[in-house]
A and B are shown apart, each in its own frame.
Chain A
């Protein structure tokens, strides 16, 4: 399966499974931060790998990026991107006073990784039970840097087999009325072979 040959039914299937997975992840996040987390309708984008940084808001934009490999019956990457301000808000919400200015320290870093782990685990376990697969997240990795630099290792991995990337993106945001909303983007980037496996399992195989 090449990413460019997906039909509408397959794209819908990907959106739907991602919506369900992300629904579970959002529930986990809303319990963590104590407010409702809203989800946008997922977007499935098939694009040249060169365009991915632009789709993340620009290659130079500073973000907190948490990334996890998907292990088990299908392979791929999960990428959780928080704009810098949202990462700060999230930390101050989770850690209270200690979270102020914690963005770069060890406590802040391990908190953000843990958030990544919780969201990815919720997402993958929902996906796994839907598709009758075992999907396990790797240990999370974190970088505070330019979006382009944070994602390029995922692009390098994809570029070993082609020039295209398939991204399933869900935007989410909190709704605390007294504060600026925490925003983030959750990306699923299945590798080329795993896309077949996922589509077969969902009944949308070619």
Chain B
């Protein structure tokens, strides 16, 4: 299908309608969709970790929830978006497996979601909706023409959730 752009792990993309931004198979990873309905500009990020740390500057910044949100907002503003109009939705942050004792990844999904909420709040961006947590994977399709964020899961293949 034309106009579909795939967002890979630790990437984000910013585009304008009629593009549909898609990211596949979010588990504990967090998908973050930012949208300016007036200019029909939007961005979608597929993030792995909550916060950037000063001691890991050499790595890709777009894998972090906080950095991705900041970078996407900058990019949306650069393309003509207005900060007051930008709203957010978040998807993913699941816990795919029963918690494993001693693993650093316990609760990482929830920490990703919480970091997104706090980062958005600090920027004054309204979080319109979220589909986070649980123990299942999610695929996100973000239609920049309508602003719809569709969430597809394996257990619910026929009926997409629309945020």
Q: Which residues of A contact B (CB under 8 A)?
A: 49-53, 58-60, 62, 67, 69, 138-139, 141-153, 155-157, 159-163
On whether the beta carbons of A152 and B59 are closer than 8 Å, the reply is no
Q: Which of these, B49, B56, B63, B139, contacts A146 with CB under 8 Å?
A: B139
Q: Which of these, B8, B60, B137, contacts A149 with CB under 8 Å?
A: B137
Could you say which of B26-34, B68-76, B79-87, B122-130 contacts chain A? Answer: B26-34
On whether the beta carbons of B25 and A163 are closer than 8 Å, the reply is no
As a 0/1 sequence over residues 130 to 144 of chain B, the CB contacts with chain A under 8 angstroms (1 = contact) are: 000001111100000
On whether the beta carbons of B24 and A152 are closer than 8 Å, the reply is no
- Nearest CB of B to A10, in Å: 23
Interface size class of B (residues with CB under 8 A): 20 to 34
Given A141-B98, A156-B48, A156-B105, verify A60-B139 contact (CB < 8 Å).
Answer: yes
On whether the beta carbons of A146 and B11 are closer than 8 Å, the reply is no
Contacts of A160 in B (CB 8 A): 49, 56, 104
On whether the beta carbons of B154 and A146 are closer than 8 Å, the reply is yes
Given A138-B100, A141-B97, A145-B154, verify A156-B10 contact (CB < 8 Å).
Answer: no
Which residue of A is nearest B46, CB measured?
Answer: A50
Residue with the highest number of chain B CB atoms closer than 10 Å, among A49, A138, A145, A147: A145
Given A145-B154, A148-B27, A156-B49, verify A162-B59 contact (CB < 8 Å).
Answer: yes
On whether the beta carbons of B10 and A150 are closer than 8 Å, the reply is no
Contacts of A150 in B (CB 8 A): 25, 27, 96, 137
- Nearest CB of A to B31, in Å: 11
Besides the contacts A50-B11, A145-B96, A148-B26, what 20 more A-B pairs have beta carbons closer than 8 Å? A50-B8, A60-B24, A138-B100, A139-B100, A144-B154, A145-B27, A146-B139, A147-B25, A148-B24, A149-B26, A149-B96, A149-B138, A150-B25, A150-B137, A152-B29, A152-B48, A153-B28, A153-B96, A159-B48, A160-B104
